Amino acid sequence: MSSGTTASVSTHVLDTSLGRPAGGVAVALAARAGSGGDWTALGGSATDEDGRCKDLPALPAGTTHVRLDFGTEAYFLSDLSNPSDQSRQNRQAEVRQDAPANRDSGTAGVFFPEVAITFAVVPGEHYHVPLLLNPFGYSVYRGS
């Protein structure tokens, strides 16, 4: 636990369908003071090649709730069209070929176009919140 006056946040994204970090995922950070307060957009970043988002903005003093918004649709759509990593394209195509069709929309499109994670924080603590992502599901947890 840190002795600071506000909490701090970090995240990373792992693509569990490929067993690799998810680079290039847009991440937006918002905060509020109190459960009934208005959200304040603080800015954002994108994950690096290791799936980490190392430059999220600092939280303002008085923050009690944080929201991380992940742009998952652009990530999944860009994976198939990125010619810079042919092996990743091939693995993603294999996964998609074997994956069940998205029966809710009648297409094999992106099932979760965005993921919003909201959590409570207390001053002085660091919160590392990883996102485990695949085309048809996701999971989050408080990491270390």
Total domain count for the chain?
A: 1
Task: State the sign of the Cα–Cα–Cα–Cα dihedral 93, 94, 96, 101.
Answer: positive
Containing 80, the helix (H) or strand (E) segment is helix 72-81
Q: What are the tokens at 100?
A: 């069940």
**Structural domain that includes position 126:** 8-140
Q: What are the tokens at 55?
A: 């430059």
Whether 41 is in a domain gets the answer yes
CATH number at residue 136: 2.60.40.180
pLDDT value of position 100: 44
Q: What are the pLDDT digits (tens) for 6-51?
A: 899 999 999 999 999 999 999 999 999 998 899 999 999 999 999 9
pLDDT value of position 6: 86
